[in-house]
């Protein structure tokens, strides 16, 4: 129960920069997710906050108290690791009591607290088992209980559920989010799985190569990606990204995709980029509508492939070849009842888009 | 399971049997010889059927052999405890912390073990002569501890490397000091490794001959079993019955311990270089 | 700013204690943990070795405290290196190392191929075969001396009797004849250390994935082809380790020679470098000269083991 502030923290391993000048502010009781690919610096950030890694530069504060020089034991955080969560030589009960032992609580108090948390997580019947006798989900629950039993100032979770199978993961997502809200403990949660990030986070920070790409609510990062990295990372399938030349005629702004293929762009968004010759165009698959006949403001394309996923269908459409003779395709998300065939000629309508600077890749916010 | 038992099947079974016999016969012969009368042992042809006697073991009881066996036990166990204790600490440091010149240090530690015992023992002999440590329990314990230490560091480093760092990190975050984390988390998980390493050190100390030969006096107070068995020559050469009896008693614990660490043998004999 | 959830019955916050120092720092732990090893190694290895280095430049006898050490510079080294006998001892050692290690390698690998299949009592058989290498070399040597007795009361000669009668030969004086003494040492060392080669070979063999052989079977590969192109390349790194280990070990072999051929006899037929050094130091008590010789040996070994550790590290990195 503390706010966490990172002030331009930098961490290098040997000569490799893991985190560079990272700033982050996490509010009290917030569920904050760090999202990024493997090696983006998410886990390093978490380990720095816990004090398991010494910073090369920068400072860490909990509630404005400087933490940078404190050792892990004095920071009062709880860390849930991805694997090796429980000590194999201790029972579930002992594992949960383990963080309480160095605090010299009376035996009865330790017992009561473990019992309370165990009841909360419905694991009372598992307390006397050794980790080897627990299933994956049970292990994860006990691990969570181990973190909860101490009521730390901050929870740090490093991909705690990525080793579980899909169904259990979905269950644990709900469980963790619910417990966090119930306890009101500030939580930093690291994951590479955007579904986890989107479904659990109050706010999410997207990391790449030790730098923060964007911070915002899940909806913000989805709808208004700050740059082409975020645009290409968030969403499944992610935004269609391609460079495009902008031109204006009759008060409408057109984007020239490849060759002579032109598409009318939403005025308010495209207007900001009109001063630039070329921009990155980002389009969410659901913002592309497929029509079987020609309509206003559509372009003609060919169905290259499609995946009927049940609740939706993802269609790859072929726009043609670019200057370097590479095939240019886009992914569209269409309702499952709409029929398409491979090779079929269809008309594509663009309903919304984002634009990014051609060179910096940053979202263009104003003219 | 093979369903067709052809020539090569029988050939392989026969070869395996032959190898086992080659390895068992000498050991069998030790046991058998220890149970024979002297006259049967020195018969012009080996006797496979004979009258069993415990005369050789009785002769051993009458000699100083058991006090020398006790020396082996005292020196073996003490040096093992010291070597494994000190070695585990170092192995932990080498496994978990950045140490300047780590590879060179580890090589130096290993190289002390690579030297021929005679090369090592000459300077030790000179030092012990001055310090009056020759033919003392303390002297041999000190030497065996040092000798086994390099082995213990290397083997234990392998075992500790296999314990995930996350376990200690979790303990550190939970409010334990590094030292407490080592005691409460690392040691319990390294217990199998510690036991295996201890057994190897014990066997090495138990079997050691060259150091013991040079640093003790014949019939001295700190003589261990191996030099005592070897030096037990009578006027007409070895009393083989007595030698066999002493050997048998000496080998039994090694056999038991070998059986206990059979899963770690590969690691033990290769300084942890090869893990199963 | 706490909001207490109802389930917790408002427990006191125990985590908020502000300790700034919790026991030893990592640096202190590191130092405390490494120190005992270093101190012991310095006291018991470095210091005595330096001492003996100094003595190697002196004429000195440890059993004659009345004669003060006399500085003679490099004379000990010069004498040793120009002594033809010395090269003889090195040759004897090399002969032993090469024959014993090759025999152990060939037999050990063969036995491993034999055992690398499923059969009843496999675990027991393997453990039984492995036992000899855990035994004390000097005790093994002593007992083989009994088995090698030069008349027909020795078990080995007894077993060879039909053969000996056939070629009309007398029982072999294994350990007492210069022709056979080295052979008997090689036999004992091979008996003792073949299991080591076998153990490592077996580990290498059992690590080869089965599907490689299955794929070769599908391609109708011959057994020789499978051995040459699958088995050998995949086990050879481990075999190299095994050979290096054994070479290092055989080089310093002392115990078996000491007891089996009575300190390198008959004559100097089996006098290895280690054995000669022992005699120099503790029979003739030529302490200064023995220190010099120990240093010559030490340089050889350090050079060898350096190559060896480099190879090991490289292998570990690849694994």
pLDDT at position A164, please?
Answer: 84
pLDDT at position C36, please?
Answer: 94
C138 band by pLDDT with thresholds 50, 70 and 90: very high
Task: Say yes or no: C272 contacts chain B, CB-CB below 8 A.
Answer: no
Q: If contacts are CB pairs under 8 Å, which of residues 30-89 in chain C contact chain B?
A: 30, 32-34, 36-37, 40-41, 44-45, 47-49, 51-52, 55, 62
Tens digits of residue pLDDT in C147-170: 998 888 888 888 888 888 888 778
What CATH architecture applies to the domain C70-318? Orthogonal Bundle (1.10)
Tens digits of residue pLDDT in B94-139: 999 988 888 888 888 887 777 888 888 998 998 999 999 999 999 9
| In the predicted structure, residue C3 carries a pLDDT above the cut 50 | no
pLDDT at position B276, please?
Answer: 63
Per-domain boundaries in chain C: 70-318
C1 band by pLDDT with thresholds 50, 70 and 90: very low
Ranges of H-type helices in C148-177: 155-166
Per the DSSP assignment, residues forming a β-bridge with C86 are none
Interface test with C, best of B25, B116, B276 (most C CBs within 10 A): B116
Residues of chain A with pLDDT > 90, as a percent, come to: 57
Task: Say yes or no: B238 contacts chain C, CB-CB below 8 A.
Answer: yes
pLDDT at position A367, please?
Answer: 62
Identify the closest residue of chain A to B169 by CA–CA distance.
A52
C19 band by pLDDT with thresholds 50, 70 and 90: very low
DSSP string of A223-282?
Answer: HS-SBHHHHHHSBTTB-EEEEEEEEEETTEEEEE-STT-EEE--HHHHHTTTTSSEEEEE
pLDDT at position B238, please?
Answer: 83
Interface test with B, best of C28, C31, C34 (most B CBs within 10 A): C34
Tens digits of residue pLDDT in B77-92: 999 999 999 999 999 9
- Average pLDDT (A23-29) is 93
Tens digits of residue pLDDT in A67-120: 988 889 889 999 998 888 899 999 999 999 999 998 888 999 999 999 999 998
Does A103 contact C9 at a Cβ distance shorter than 8 Å?
Answer: no
Beta strand A31-36 with A203-208: parallel, antiparallel or unpaired?
A: parallel
Tens digits of residue pLDDT in C235-263: 988 888 888 889 888 988 999 999 998 88
Residues 6+ apart with CB under 8 A from B39: none
pLDDT at position C20, please?
Answer: 40
pLDDT at position B3, please?
Answer: 56
pLDDT at position A10, please?
Answer: 92
Local structure of A83: helix, strand or coil: coil
Residues of chain C with pLDDT > 70, as a percent, come to: 91
- Average pLDDT (A359-367) is 83
Q: If contacts are CB pairs under 8 Å, which of residues 35-94 in chain B contact chain C?
A: 42-46, 86-87, 89-90, 92-94
pLDDT at position B203, please?
Answer: 94
Task: Say yes or no: B155 contacts chain C, CB-CB below 8 A.
Answer: no
Q: What does the mean pLDDT of chain C come to?
A: 85
DSSP B182: I
A261 band by pLDDT with thresholds 50, 70 and 90: confident
Nearest by CB to residue A182, choosing from C5, C13, C16, is C5
- Residue B227, burial from CB neighbour count under 10 angstroms (0-12, 13-18, 19+): buried
Q: According to CATH, what is the number of the domain A240-357?
A: 2.40.50.140
- Average pLDDT (A304-324) is 89
| Separation of alpha carbons A49 and A90, rounded Å | 27
Distance from the Cα of A135 to chain B's closest Cα (Å) equals 19
Residues 6+ apart with CB under 8 A from C227: none
| In the predicted structure, residue C21 carries a pLDDT above the cut 50 | no
How remote is the C-alpha of B178 from its chain's centroid?
A: 33
Residue A90: name the closest of B187, C83, C250 by CA: B187
Least confident of A220-224, B50-54, B268-272: B268-272
Per-domain boundaries in chain B: 64-231
Distance from the Cα of A55 to chain B's closest Cα (Å) equals 16
| Separation of alpha carbons A121 and A142, rounded Å | 8
DSSP C171: P
Q: According to CATH, what is the number of the domain A4-233?
A: 3.40.50.300
| In the predicted structure, residue C6 carries a pLDDT above the cut 60 | no
Per-domain boundaries in chain A: 4-233, 240-357
Q: Which CATH number fits domain B64-231: 3.40.50.300, 1.10.287.3510, 1.10.3720.10, 1.20.58.220?
A: 1.10.3720.10
| In the predicted structure, residue C22 carries a pLDDT above the cut 60 | no
Tens digits of residue pLDDT in C192-236: 999 999 999 999 998 899 899 999 989 888 889 999 999 998 898
Tens digits of residue pLDDT in A200-219: 999 999 999 999 999 999 99
Does C7 contact A29 at a Cβ distance shorter than 8 Å?
Answer: no
Nearest by CB to residue B86, choosing from C40, C131, C152, is C40
């Amino acid at each position: 129960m503390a706010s966490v502030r990172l002030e331009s923290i930098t961490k290098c391993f040997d000569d490799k920069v893991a985190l560079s000048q990272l700033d982050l502010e996490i509010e009290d009781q917030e569920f904050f997710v760090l999202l990024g690919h493997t090696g983006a610096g998410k886990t390093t950030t978490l380990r720095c906050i816990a004090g398991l890694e010494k910073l090369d530069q920068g400072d860490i504060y909990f509630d404005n108290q400087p933490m940078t020089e404190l050792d892990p034991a004095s920071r009062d955080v709880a860390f849930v690791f991805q694997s090796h969560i429980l000590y194999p030589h201790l029972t579930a009960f002992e594992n949960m009591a383990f963080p309480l032992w160095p605090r010299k609580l009376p035996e009865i108090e330790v017992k009561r607290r473990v019992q309370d948390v165990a009841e909360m997580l419905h694991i009372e019947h598992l307390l006397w088992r050794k980790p080897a006798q627990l299933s994956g989900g049970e292990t994860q629950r006990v691990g969570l209980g181990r973190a909860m039993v101490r009521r730390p100032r901050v929870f740090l979770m490093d991909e705690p559920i990525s080793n579980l199978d899909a169904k259990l993961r979905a269950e644990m997502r709900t469980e963790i989010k619910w417990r966090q809200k119930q306890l009101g403990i500030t939580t930093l949660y690291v994951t590479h799985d955007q579904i986890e990030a989107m479904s659990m986070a109050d706010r999410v920070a997207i990391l790449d190569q030790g730098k923060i790409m964007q911070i915002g609510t899940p909806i913000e990062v989805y709808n208004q990606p700050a740059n082409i990295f975020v645009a290409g990372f968030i969403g499944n399938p992610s935004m269609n990204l391609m460079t495009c030349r902008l031109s204006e005629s009759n008060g409408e702004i057109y984007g020239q995709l490849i060759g002579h293929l032109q598409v009318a762009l939403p005025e308010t968004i495209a207007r900001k980029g009109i001063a630039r010759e070329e921009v990155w165009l980002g389009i969410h698959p659901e913002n592309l509508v497929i029509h079987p006949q020609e309509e206003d403001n559509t372009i003609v394309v060919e169905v290259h492939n499609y995946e009927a996923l049940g609740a939706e269908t993802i269609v790859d459409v072929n726009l043609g070849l670019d200057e370097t003779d590479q095939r240019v395709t886009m992914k569209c998300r269409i309702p499952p009842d709409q029929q398409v065939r491979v090779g079929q000629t269809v008309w594509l309508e663009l309903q919304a888009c984002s634009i990014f600077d051609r060179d910096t890749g940053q979202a263009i916010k104003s003219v | 399971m093979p369903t067709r038992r052809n020539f090569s099947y029988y050939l392989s079974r026969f070869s395996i049997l032959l190898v086992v016999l080659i390895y068992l016969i000498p050991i069998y012969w030790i046991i058998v010889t220890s149970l024979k009368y002297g006259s049967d042992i020195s018969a012009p042809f080996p006797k496979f059927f004979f009258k069993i006697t415990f005369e050789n073991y009785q002769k051993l009881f009458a000699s100083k052999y058991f006090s020398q066996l006790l020396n082996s036990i005292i020196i073996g166990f003490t040096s093992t405890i010291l070597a494994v204790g000190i070695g585990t600490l170092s192995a932990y440091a080498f496994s978990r912390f950045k140490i300047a010149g780590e590879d060179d240090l580890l090589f130096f530690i290993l190289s002390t073990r690579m030297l021929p015992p005679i090369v090592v023992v000459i300077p030790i002999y000179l030092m012990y002569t001055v310090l009056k440590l020759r033919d003392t329990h303390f002297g041999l314990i000190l030497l065996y501890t040092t000798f086994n230490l390099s082995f213990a560091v290397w083997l234990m480093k392998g075992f500790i490397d296999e314990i995930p760092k996350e376990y200690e990190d979790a303990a550190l975050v939970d409010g334990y000091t590094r030292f407490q984390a080592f005691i409460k988390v690392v040691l319990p998980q390294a217990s199998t490794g510690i036991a295996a390493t201890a057994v190897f050190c014990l066997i090495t100390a138990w079997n050691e001959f060259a150091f013991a030969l040079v640093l003790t006096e014949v019939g001295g107070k700190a003589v261990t079993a191996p030099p005592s068995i070897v030096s037990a020559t009578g006027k007409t050469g070895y009393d083989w019955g007595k030698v066999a009896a002493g050997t048998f008693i000496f080998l039994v614990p090694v056999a038991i311990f070998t059986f206990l660490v059979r899963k770690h043998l590969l690691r033990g004999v290769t300084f942890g270089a090869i893990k199963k | 700013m706490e909001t207490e959830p109802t389930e917790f019955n408002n427990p006191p916050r125990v985590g908020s204690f502000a300790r700034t120092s919790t026991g030893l720092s990592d640096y202190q732990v590191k130092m405390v943990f490494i120190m005992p090893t270093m101190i012991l190694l310095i006291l018991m290895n470095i210091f005595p070795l330096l001492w003996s280095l100094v003595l190697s430049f002196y004429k000195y006898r440890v059993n004659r405290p009345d004669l003060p050490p006399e500085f003679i510079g490099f004379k000990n080294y010069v004498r040793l290196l120009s002594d033809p006998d010395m090269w003889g001892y090195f040759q004897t050692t090399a002969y032993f190392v090469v024959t014993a290690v090759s025999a152990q390698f060939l037999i050990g690998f063969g036995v491993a191929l034999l055992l690398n299949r499923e059969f009843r009592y496999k675990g027991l058989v393997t453990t039984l075969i492995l036992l000899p290498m855990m035994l004390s070399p000097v005790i093994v040597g002593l007992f083989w001396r009994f088995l090698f007795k030069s008349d027909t009361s020795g078990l080995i000669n007894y077993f060879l009797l039909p053969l000996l009668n056939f070629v009309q030969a007398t029982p072999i004086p294994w350990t007492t004849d210069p022709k056979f003494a080295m052979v008997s040492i090689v036999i004992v060392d091979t008996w003792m250390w073949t299991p080591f080669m076998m153990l490592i070979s077996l580990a290498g063999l059992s690590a080869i994935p089965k599907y490689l052989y299955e794929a070769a079977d599908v391609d109708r590969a011959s057994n020789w082809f499978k051995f040459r192109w699958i088995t050998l390349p995949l086990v050879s790194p481990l075999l190299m380790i095994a050979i290096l280990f054994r070479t290092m070990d055989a080089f310093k072999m002392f115990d078996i020679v000491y007891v089996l051929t009575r300190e390198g006899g008959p004559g100097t037929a089996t006098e290895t470098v280690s054995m000669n050094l022992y005699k120099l130091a503790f029979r003739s008590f030529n302490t200064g000269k023995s220190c010099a010789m120990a240093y010559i040996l030490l340089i050889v070994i350090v050079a060898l083991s350096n190559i060896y550790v480099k190879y090991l590290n490289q292998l570990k990195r690849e694994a």
